[in-house]
A and B are shown apart, each in its own frame.
Chain A
């Protein structure tokens, strides 16, 4: 089957932080996860914007928790797309090792029946998943096949890179999402852990003291892991830490002048619950 923008839809969950997916592309949808604040259940990016979330987080006595979309949430989205005539749905989700979202989507796909929906565990999280969606969309624009998309997804899993740091490991710890990065915890100094996602879990790459050294470490990893060219796509996401955007943009321009900066977005309430305020992520994908 020849896949095009007219017959193929892309479904993301809200941890991809591509807030305006539907406005950007008529064939894209964003299904929200939930953030729970003192028993109140709010849809990520729908009922609570990042700005409101970080304000509320700063004043909160109890930290929020998060919850995956229900299979029903996904099913409603798939049914809407099927009803609108989309014959193929690529549903791209954050790593199943950190969330049950992928599982929820898989159940909804099974409930829908047939083979209309392809559910992908991207084994990573945040804007880099949105970058995969954009890469698929570029192929849909000229026409593609399931096999080509499948190849792209497999290559994406091998070559995409997430490098991030957090102001404190406390949020990753409280959310239980820290994995091997646990080893970095405990320091009372102003430490910036340098973290990545590998095989779907948070993995420490190192730790440095202070922002300047963190930036230098990002630059080193970026230079080591990439070659210059327009096919190199970048994104920056931050948890109420806009001060990082310019310094990271400048750094990227210096290290790889030809690269394309696809997206700069705030981290939504769900990812923000687990990183805490002050986190920043730098993503790249050589398409």
Chain B
């Protein structure tokens, strides 16, 4: 006899186990939409079912089955919850007709669950919860499993479920690309495992560390502006992972804090590894022997980085046309890459790249046509020489500054051909106004503007425009001019010794202009600007 008390106990055990695994399952969630809520949805759906069971007064098995079916339908949360509810409904339909459960009934119930799940989904996709429930049903249907006592049969079903989950990446590309197993399938197995352990009375296995499945490799794919990859373990009592995370967050990026209240593993990219360790020591014991600090910058010399960049560009999918740009300053190079440059060569005013290096870049990109943005008058000639040397069709758009290059690059579209791109990029900078603020290295009079050594000199479209000991005075002069000319959008790239971005933004906005202020990192020029 399947009675209400037993069903409540088993459902509660299933819920307890999915609660333990919620975070891990959320972290796995990439399919169908990577919104990290599969664990939560399964938990909420199960919570709803348990709550309905608490209210139920069913005295017969068919009544109980009807209550469970209704609860499952009504409480389904999210995609995974809906599929879970159809599985539960299918199983309850079979179990409601039986007086007792043996291996035969288990097989029949799982098959009914799997069938109803497949029917509920318009286009069944393999490598998901569907695959896992189907394989669990297939396991139960094996002749040698059918004849086992139901607890032993269920143990086989859970083992097969684990196996099916581990094979989901073979069936679904999205999972393989993300390097994870299916979240819904993993959650489903945990629900069944909860039931199994309630029946056997055995303790549940530990929750696997989230980092194992997230893979640190995937984190290292992101480029970091920080220098030290820092990994350590904190042991203690009542560790609050969220608060640990919040305290570590300001120190860097690629932060991962995993574990539980007694042991936490921390991974962070930071410039202050000692600061990160101190935060760990404030809440628990950090075993010095297990601290790993890697210097990510020393890991690749400049030449190695350049070769890596060439290699990456060569491996990129082929396009009709690729973009090669030249810039000084880490921020500027990132900005150019973010708007589509396949290769950004280090260089500018004081450090001109060689024709050979430009040629290397042009040769490496996986395209027959190349557009080069020299972004400095002193680099233009080298770019043109490289264009002549190359066997590829190379067009040089003679951008004279980095903001001009960025505006041109923004018009670049790798999906269209070289002629359309060249035309669109030239059009984008046709009417662009460029401002540069540089510190005078000696007393000088340029274009009838006199600047003393150490003073700020503002250039407008290549001609000296204003000079003053106060940077704000020359910036205001430039911005007033932009406003008077009816410009609307100002891009400002902050270089070494630049003032704070907020103050620059405020001055741009004061004049009714729209600001886009970014860290460029170029030497010698505290500010580079363009106005459209």
Contact = CB atoms under 8 A, between A and B. Distances in A.
The answer to whether A and B come from one shared complex is yes
B346 interface: no
Interface residues of A, number: 31
A187 B76 CA distance: 38
Contacts of B334: 188
A165 B406 CA distance: 22
B78 A107 contact: no
B335 A213 contact: no
Nearest to A62: B242
A71 B44 contact: no
Interface string B158-172: 000000000000000
Nearest to B78: A67
Interface in A81-115: 100, 103-104, 107, 111
Interface residues of B, number: 35
A146 to B, nearest CB: 24
Contacts of A65: 35-37, 40
A75 interface: yes
Interface in B489-531: 489, 491, 514-516, 518
A104 B85 CA distance: 12
A212 B489 CA distance: 8
A171 to B, nearest CB: 11
A149 B48 CA distance: 37
A61 to B, nearest CB: 6
A209 B518 contact: no
Contacts of A68: 77-78
Contacts of A104: 76, 82
A190 interface: yes
Contacts of B41: 67
B333 to A, nearest CB: 11
B335 A188 contact: yes
Contacts of B75: 70, 72
Interface in A22-73: 36, 39, 41, 61, 65, 67-68, 70-72
Interface string A158-198: 00000000000000001111000000001111110000000
B93 to A, nearest CB: 16
Interface string B58-95: 00000000000000011111110010000000000000
A210 interface: yes
A189 B339 contact: yes
A189 B76 contact: no
Interface string A139-166: 0000000000000000000000000000
A146 B335 CA distance: 55
A19 B176 CA distance: 42
A70 B77 contact: yes
B33 A187 contact: no
A111 B73 contact: yes
Nearest to B79: A100
Which has the most chain B C-beta neighbours within 10 Å: A39, A189, A211?
A189
A175 B35 contact: yes
A176 B338 contact: no
Contacts of B35: 65, 174-177
Nearest to B73: A71
A26 to B, nearest CB: 27
B513 to A, nearest CB: 10
A282 B339 CA distance: 27
B410 interface: yes
15 contacts: A61-B242, A61-B246, A67-B44, A68-B77, A71-B73, A100-B82, A104-B82, A111-B73, A176-B33, A189-B406, A189-B491, A190-B514, A191-B410, A209-B407, A213-B488
Interface of B: 32-37, 40-41, 44, 48, 73-79, 82, 242, 246, 334-335, 338-339, 406-407, 410, 488-489, 491, 514-516, 518, 532
